[in-house]
């Protein structure tokens, strides 16, 4: 029989708990976002665009979501194909692509307002606990990125 090494047991790994929680949270969004015709990554892009005061560059969206352009470009193409965003070269700098919400994309924000509360109810956490968890997770990300 193999010798047990507690620090190498799966249940003792913070990375696995974070990974498992992330996957469960993403799965919880699927049925709610499906009603809106969005995937979870598309929803994240739409959140960034809904927060913006105008067009966003692909690199700005990628920076906010910690995604590279290789991941983001096909996702943005699908959002454009569905009529939620428009993609256009920046007239001031042809290397940059600007992403702008369409009327449909802007209108979807109203239809999506229930999403956070609907999914949050499944977390079985109070608002103070959720805010504390967000702070802790943000601190972990910041520590790992320095």
Q: What is the pLDDT of residues 75-128, one digit of tens each?
A: 999 999 999 999 999 888 888 999 999 999 999 999 999 999 999 999 998 889
The domains of the chain are located at: 24-113, 115-146
Contact 76, 85 (CB under 8 A): yes
Closest CA to 77 of 103, 52, 104, 58: 58
Closest CA to 22 of 62, 66, 68: 66
* Residues facing 90 on adjacent strands: 93
Output the pTM of the full model. 0.90
Second-level CATH architecture of 24-113:
Orthogonal Bundle (1.10)
């Amino acid at each position: 029989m193999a010798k047990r090494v507690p620090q190498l047991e799966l249940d003792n790994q913070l990375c696995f708990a974070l990974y498992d929680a992330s996957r469960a949270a993403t799965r919880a969004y699927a049925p709610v976002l499906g009603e809106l015709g969005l995937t979870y990554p598309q929803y994240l892009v739409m959140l960034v665009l809904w927060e913006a005061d105008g067009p966003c560059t692909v690199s700005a969206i990628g920076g906010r979501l910690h995604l590279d352009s290789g991941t983001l470009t096909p996702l943005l193409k699908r959002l454009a194909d569905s009529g939620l965003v428009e993609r256009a070269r920046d007239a001031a700098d042809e290397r940059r692509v600007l992403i702008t919400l369409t009327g449909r994309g802007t209108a979807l924000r109203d239809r999506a307002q229930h999403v956070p509360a609907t999914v949050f109810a499944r977390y079985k956490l109070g608002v103070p606990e959720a805010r504390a968890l967000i702070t802790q997770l943000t601190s972990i990300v910041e520590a790992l990125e320095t």
